[in-house]
Structures are given as C-alpha cells and as structure tokens.
Structure 1
C-alpha cells in the first residue's frame, strides 16, 4: 500500500499495530463532539473492528482512509483523513477527517484534505467529492473551503446527537473545478 506525502505530513494506510495510537486520539471528547459518527466514550473494543473494516474497505476500493502523521514526529499519530463511501458507479465519494485537538489550528486537516482531493481526482477517477460538517463547527467548514470545496446547502436537523438535532452543511468539489481559481462567495 502506498504512503502519501505532503509538505508536512505522511498519510499511511491503517494497520492493526496502530490501534493504541489511534485510540489515544479517537477517544477524546472533542473528537466525538465534532464528528457525526464517532461516539463518546469510544469503546476500545470497537476500534479493532473499525480498523479491520477500514482495511477491508481499502482493499475492495470502497473507502480509502489514511492515518495522519507529521514528518517531524513520524511515529506520532495525529488523525485521520480519507475518502469514504466511494461509488465507482457514480464516480463520487465523501471526504472525512479528524485531527487530534492538540494539533488543531495548524493547517494539518486542510493539508491532508487537499491530498485526498488530489487522490480522488487523479488516481481514483472521481468526478465529485463532498464533505459535510456540523453547522456549529465552523472550523471544519473552513477546512473544506480552504481545500477548494464550495458550499452546496444546509440540511436542517439532519442528525440527532447528544439529545439535540444538528444542522449539517454540505460542501463539494467537482473534477472540472479542481485546481481552478477559487471565486469569492457572498457568504
């Protein structure tokens, strides 16, 4: 499996021996609070099943999730970035990511997302990649926008999390617009 490289990051396919490092990050409340599908507390037993699922999905081309490491500390896991729910029939997929809260506001998520978009359009032949984020998480929306994605709409009360309905923003990028100069938007 190929290891991806950016200016400051290594993105590596997940392996079972990463479990303890991944768990140290994924179990944090801040991760669950900003993600749609990660519970808190995160059961340690669930992680092994997730890693197995990620590896199998990678092998069959359904999802391509990578463990994120910084080049200056290449053994320290700092998060996840990947293409999930890849549809070969529709040439589309969803981008997803999380970064250790101790590493927030350093541009790692944007850097990793840009690499995933490159992979989506140049290696996997996708035509459309979308991302979604909680409306109350404007930092995640900024990551998607800085990676080149455009706002497409808001799904009101789409998810029920922690006793409250959550509005979700959807952003996307088409292959035809990949690499095109970004236009300022009025919002």
Structure 2
C-alpha cells in the first residue's frame, strides 16, 4: 500500500496551546528541553522503535532532530511552524528534570503524522496514551481552513495518521486505546509498518 495523502485542513498557530491532566502537562518544546530530550533519545531501547534507529550521541544532534519537527511543506502559513510538545510529569519535584517524553505532528503534508517517545522509566504507566489523547484534543480544536474542492476529495473525512512498526506491540496498543485503526501497511528501510488512522470526531 502507498502512504496516505490528505488535504491540509488545520491552521497551526505560531505558538501552540498547552494542556494538562492531573498527572501530565503538555507544552510546546523549547530549546531548553534539548538536554532532557537527549536523555530520552540517547537510550538504545527508545532508538530501536523510532527513526533514526541509532541512539543520539550529543545534545547538538538532538537539536538537529528538534529542527526536523518544523513544517517545511504545506500551505504558506504553516511553513516554519511546528506542533511539537514536551510531556511533563507533574509528580516529579520541580528541582528535578520533569520532561519524560515528547510527541508531535511530524508533518502535515502529504498527511498529518504523529510521532512520540517516552523515557523507558515511564513505560507501562499509561503516560503515552494519556499524552496522545491530550494532544489530539488540542489538534482537533485548532481552527480549520476551507479547502477547495479541487484540493480535496468530496467524501474525504479529515484524519490523523501514525506509522508504527508491526513488532512494536506497546505503541500499537497506545494508538488503539486512542481510537486509531489499522488502515494498511507499509515497508520502509526494511521495517514492516502498520498505517494507523483516526477520523476527526
């Protein structure tokens, strides 16, 4: 199957909103988060299920990866913006590092694709599911643009997508708990991936 294509409906603000639950705060990532994100992306078990597969070796490499979250294609008002969030564990004392993960819309063109990663110490606690539900709530509440019928299939329902390795059962469960359904599969760099999709409520 080929990868999906979808018109760009969303209008991404210059500064995204923040949102929180009892346990978590999601806020836009800043440069000050680079060290915390390096502590996550330098872990081999995190790299194994993400792209690139090689653990990061420096904070500078982490900053280069952070820069890839800035949209480079799509409508002109989206270019240069991002929807990239730090997952903050509110139970950790403020004197310690509270950023335990990140999640983002990696791109909006040719389709809106979600990616996320958590520090292994937080796996199995429901944080990824909770954070993804929070981010989707923000995403669906953003303003939408009118799309010309030439750009959109008349029957097109707006969706969010995620690519997940077939062997990554934990991430597949997270997506399914958030309402995503498998709509196809895809092979990239020798890895077998599921294509997950979620319709806008």
Aligned-residue Cα RMSD (Å) equals: 2.3
SS at match of 1:34: coil
The structure that is helix-richer by fraction is 1
Larger relative strand fraction: 1
Identify the residue that residue 181 of structure 1 maps to in structure 2. Answer: none
Which of 149, 160, 171 aligns to 1:140? It is: 171
Aligned residues of 2:25 and 2:87 also touching (Cα < 8 A): yes
Residues in 2 aligned to 1:67 and 1:100: alpha-carbon distance in whole angstroms: 12
Gaps of 5+ in 1: 179-187
List alignment gaps of at least 5 residues for structure 2.
Answer: 1-14, 73-77, 146-157
Give the match for residue 195 of structure 2: 170
In structure 1, C-alpha distance between the alignment counterparts of 2:137 and 2:18, rounded to whole Å = 14
- The match for 1:20 is 35
**1:85 equivalent in alignment to 2:99:** no
Structure 2 residue aligned with 1:109: 128
Aligned position for 1:5: 20
- Contact kept in structure 1, 2:37 and 2:101, CA below 8 Å: yes
Of 163, 188, 193, 1:159 maps to 188
Q: Which residue of 1 aligns with 2:148?
A: none
TM-score, normalization by structure 2: 0.73
Task: Report how many aligned residue pairs link the two structures.
Answer: 165
Distance (Å, rounded) in 2 between the aligned partners of 1:114 and 1:124:
18
Higher relative contact order (CA 8 A, sep 6+): 2
